[in-house]
A and B are shown apart, each in its own frame.
Chain A
Amino acid sequence: MTHLTDTFAALSDPTRLAVVERLMAEGELPAGRLVEQADISAPAMSRHLKVLRQAGLVEQRIQGTSRLYSVRAQALRTIADWTLDHRAFWEASMDRLATHLALQDGD
């Protein structure tokens, strides 16, 4: 199960958010390509990728001598489902309100 706090924390860093965006736009990429455009060192990128992997946001695949990274959609969808669906929030609340009123006032 993905922990949302870790996911949010991982995305709160601009470099990591940029990495996720780039992987979304371009698909799977080797770490070297990510370093080229990020203007940070390879070890720094490696640390960022580790955080993103631990948060479940990206996954790694090893092909020959390359490590390829791609976005892992499931973690992000979990966030979106919870906080964005205000209609679901209010519908669920209304359902319980109806039950509450029926129990309190049923006669």
Chain B
Amino acid sequence: MGEVRITRDFPVTPERLFRAVTQRAEVLEWWGHDGMTLPDTALDFTREGPWHSEMRDADGNRYRMSGQVTHIDPPHSVGFTWTWHLPEGMRAPKSHVTFTVTPAAGGARLIIDHRDLPDDDRAARHETGWTSGPMVRLARHLQTHPH
């Protein structure tokens, strides 16, 4: 399965960083792709249970995802599942995200692990992919026919 790991250091305490990545009002300040608005979100990572997020781009396209917060260990780590919603009731396969906060020189380090992504996810490079065979082939076609 594909996996993404992103690590970044911030000049704040681990406690401060942990609040910023878990408390709803703060998560809204940074969550999502560039250029998107967040018209409908429940992004509270301070307690176990369901979350969801809907992003909207400038053309009105909506991107909805949801999951369950599965563990919280403040101020060290929080884990949640992640599923993209597709129209017609389709769902992409579930993946797993973990935020890990550790002390670092000059502040705190945030490690984001996004696991169990489809094998052909762009995360694994070389190929863009989707949820299953047809979409994987579709993506492969796009790669070999870029124009």
Which A residues contact B (CB, under 8 angstroms)?
A: 1, 3-5, 8-9, 12, 17, 20-21, 24-25, 71, 73, 76-77, 80-94, 96-102, 104-105
Contacts and interface: CB of A to CB of B under 8 A. Distances in A.
B87 A83 contact: no
Contact of A73 (B6, B95, B129, B145): B145
The interface residues of chain B, by DSSP majority, are classed as mixed
Contacts, number: 119
Given A73-B142, A87-B4, A98-B10, A5 B122 contact: no
Interface in B50-96: 59-63, 84, 86-88, 90, 92, 95
Contact of A84 (B29, B110, B122, B145): B122
The interface residues of chain A, by DSSP majority, are classed as helix
B8 A4 contact: no
B1 interface: no
